[in-house]
Structure 1
């Protein structure tokens, strides 16, 4: 399954894994939210309340994850304030359920408070 992420003039796509988290996200699409920045991560609240699934704290560029404490989806594209050195580290464990296809660096242009829409990609 693929998703489309639209933030202003920025479009990004993601490929989702075969996990319970990914299924729950797909079943709730489409949804709109507001972006927040945390280092080189954007995150946004979603209308889901999910348990942690195969939790990870150290991630890769382009990882798309669900963060249970914040009921948010996070997209990572570089170090965060929790990172040690050049690693990409979440604030706390997240459920990785997908990966940005293409260059996740386009998300660097996203500002705090921008509207975001996530939908199933055609």
Structure 2
């Protein structure tokens, strides 16, 4: 029986805080993990934080536009890490609706509402966390 490697864990840090996340074993998540560490500039869109990564991946068949708060997603149209924690300007109700379908990379640990402390222009560091 073949065992799968452990899911990579990442730490996302900004001046007012940090969160960790577990990544799924998907091609997009693996591509992002190989590019780490990254330092990006944060932008906010409603209750979503996104950061251009300089990484390019194809949209996967499981890409979704509506996700749960705390989903770690990759916006293939913009090459950005997308971290929704609540409604965006195009949401219907309280759902997290991303700008377009995004690859789901994993899930934040902890309270995704901590992302409300991220400000436009904040430096964001994304790095791998060793177990």
TM-score norm. by structure 1 comes to 0.97
Q: Is residue 2:71 matched to residue 1:63? A: yes
Determine if the alignment matches structure 1 residue 80 to structure 2 residue 88.
Answer: yes
Any runs of at least 4 consecutive aligned residues in structure 1 with deviations exceeding 4 A, and if so which? Answer: none
The residue aligned with 2:21 is: 14
Deviation at 1:86, TM superposition (A): 1.2
Asked whether the 8 Å contact 1:28–1:47 carries over to 2, the reply is no
Partners of 1:109 and 1:120 in 2: CA distance: 22
Aligned pair count reads: 122
1:96 counterpart (101, 104, 107):
104
Unaligned runs of 5+ in 2: 1-7
Q: Which has the larger radius of gyration?
A: 2
Asked whether the equivalents of residues 16 and 117 of structure 2 are also in contact (C-alpha less than 8 Å), the reply is no
Aligned-residue CA RMSD in angstroms? 0.7
